Amino acid sequence: MKADQKIDALKIRTVSVPLEHPHRTASGEISASPLVLTDITTSGGIVGHSLVFTYTPAALKPTADFIKNIGDFIKGENAAPGHIEQMLVKKFRLLGSQGLVGMAIAAIDMALWDALARMADVSLARLLGAKPKPIPAYGAVGYDGVKGSAQAAEAWVKMGFKGIKAKIGYESGRKDLEVIRAMRDAVGEEVAIMVDYNQSLLPAEAIERLRAIDEEGLTWVEEPTLAHDYSGHASIRQEIKTPIQCGENWWGIQDFTHAVNARASDYVMPDVMKIGGVTGWNRAAAVAQSLGLKVSNHLWPEISAQLMCATPNAHWLEYADWWSPIFAQPLVIEDGMAVVDGASGTGVEWNETAVAKFEV
């Protein structure tokens, strides 16, 4: 490894990657992914890569501009992720490190960890002291109704997946139940089924609905009420037998700690962007381990699969191929398991032809 490399340059690009199959949720439809791509070049010529997902095109340019502006603060600094993260958190303490600021810090953090692993010529998992191992993955079913959800679930299982997760939160609890049972009929008893309400219910409503599906053998129910209503989730959890899953909308270790202290969730699923990049994930994983909480991920399957290898209580990997078109080597899934052995860095590297095609 070349020691004491400095941050030499940042290259920021924006792309909009269309989804082959638009993904519907109770909150709306996602038909394309607006992404900011960050490349950090070190003084030794190593390039680290990352991407952040802005959810809406309206946030794409502001996020890219903010990352560019941060570049002026960090050029010439040591390419040390922990050092840079602490420097930026201090810099933006009065503004706060959630939202756009958090996304920008995470973009830089992930790119620096990628560069650090590439300096050592190892994968992120090995850099973190872990042995790469297969991670069980589940496929995502959208808000597709009874017939569509069953068909999509069956398609994932035919590809070898042992778990599926569906968006629900229909106009009635009866419809939710019909969707769950249709998927179970389509995939059989051995496949894990999870459901995601995308924060669409009030706590009292959630308790009523979840009681009706409590005997359906679900692996978890995700975000039945607002993500930051920790007491609401805790009250739901106390009344329901099916495990509650939360975490994708918790920003940084502070949100994570407040939520688990409130006993808001049986399981946790950090989003590597919102939790603070690799640095933030490592902190959250340590807290989860101390409390005996199983850890899954939200999106970012390439880097998340490697982080799961280094996470003692790793549970399920959420797999989505939304961003695969712009990757030089998308994550490999074999028999329903994510395979990270042989990956370079975080596993993120660009298919430049595709990037040019989707650049906006």
**Which is it for the CA torsion 177, 181, 187, 193, positive or negative?**
positive
298 token code pair: 């939200």
161 token code pair: 């997946």
123 token code pair: 């994968």
DSSP codes of every residue in 282-329: HHHHHHHHHHT--B--BS-HHHHHHHHHT-TTB--EEE--TTGGGBSS
Angle, alpha carbons 289-86-270 (nearest 5°): 35
Cα separation of the two ends of the chain:
36
Q: Which residues are annotated as catalytic?
A: 167, 298
Task: Provide the pairing of β-strand 337-339 with 332-334.
Answer: antiparallel
Query: Could you give the CA distance from residue 295 to residue 277 in angstroms, rounded to a whole number?
Result: 15
Residue 360: partners with Cβ closer than 8 Å, 6 or more residues away = 14, 15, 16, 34, 57, 60
CB 279 within 8 A of CB 109: yes
